[in-house]
């Protein structure tokens, strides 16, 4: 059992329980990919698996799970709403590297500076954030250019002990995911054309930023080469532009 497998198992079971879940197409070559990291005695086999679903209000629910021994474990789990809902994104970046654990959990807002939006989607989860923040200290500075894409309930921490990831971080992950699914349950479609245009612009801004600055790009390039990596990022992880081009 790898460190983040219980997180993935819990997420999929919860989604199946709470949503009308269907498979989302994973392009050929991305469901499972094997490689090696390191040299000599430090060489580790690395396995990357992809998982993807959709539901009536959620365009893409997807996970990239990297398992490469004790010093390389990654779960990137993101939910992208359909374009006629003003829901935030759900984002979980759970990363274990030789230097330690990097944990980021958030419901990333479409309109961070809109007070009405904050009231609707951030204020209800601030009590959850504060409850977990007591045990998961702030992880320090993160890039200024990234700040507009995170909410005031952004849980960013660098726990030293693996046990903290297995317990405290896991509980936070569950609470954030269930709170997000509560929002999904309540969400009403938006039919006003101006609003749907703004939602599309906001989703594009977020996806363009994430695709350009994906922190896993270097790791994937070393493992599987540049061509596979760029296709994985643009053709699966952040595929909205491709889907829009296909639709038009």
Question: What is the domain partition of the chain in residue ranges?
Answer: 5-192
pLDDT for the residue 89: 94
Residue 105: per-residue pLDDT: 96
Is pTM, for the whole model, over 0.75?
yes
84 has pLDDT over 80: yes
**What pLDDT, on the 0 to 100 scale, is given for residue 245?**
84
Please write the tens of the pLDDT for every residue from 49-72.
999 999 999 999 999 999 998 778
* pLDDT band with cut points at 50, 70 and 90 for residue 127: very high
Average pLDDT estimate for 79-97? 95
- Cα angle 37-42-45, degrees, rounded to a multiple of 5: 40
pLDDT at residue 143 tops 90: no
CATH code for the domain defined by 5-192? 3.40.1500.20
Mean pLDDT of all residues in 19-46: 89
pLDDT band at residue 136 using 50, 70 and 90 as cut-offs? very high
Q: Residue 1: its pLDDT value, please?
A: 62
Task: Kindly state the percentage of the chain with pLDDT values over 90.
Answer: 70
């Amino acid at each position: 059992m790898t460190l983040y497998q219980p997180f993935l198992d819990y997420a999929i079971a919860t989604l199946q329980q709470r949503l009308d879940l269907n498979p989302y197409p994973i392009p050929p070559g991305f469901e499972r990919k094997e490689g090696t990291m390191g040299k000599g005695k430090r060489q580790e086999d690395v396995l990357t698996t992809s998982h993807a679903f959709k539901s009536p209000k959620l365009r893409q629910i997807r996970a990239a799970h990297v398992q490469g021994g004790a010093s390389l474990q990654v779960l990137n789990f993101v939910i992208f709403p359909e374009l006629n809902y003003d829901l935030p994104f759900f984002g979980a970046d759970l990363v274990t590297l030789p230097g330690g654990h990097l944990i980021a959990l958030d419901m990333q807002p479409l309109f961070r500076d809109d007070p009405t939006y904050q009231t609707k989607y951030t204020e209800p989860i601030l009590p959850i954030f504060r409850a977990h923040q007591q045990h998961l200290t702030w992880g320090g500075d993160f890039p200024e250019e990234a700040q507009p894409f995170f909410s005031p309930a952004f849980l960013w921490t660098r726990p030293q002990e693996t046990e903290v990831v297995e317990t405290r971080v896991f509980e936070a992950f569950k609470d954030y995911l269930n709170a997000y699914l509560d929002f999904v349950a309540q969400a009403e479609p938006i039919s006003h054309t101006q609003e749907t245009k703004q939602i599309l612009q906001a989703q594009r801004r977020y996806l363009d930023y994430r695709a350009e600055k994906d922190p896993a790009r270097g790791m994937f390039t070393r493992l599987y080469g540049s061509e596979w990596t760029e296709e994985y990022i643009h053709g699966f992880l952040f595929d909205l532009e491709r889907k829009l081009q296909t639709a038009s």
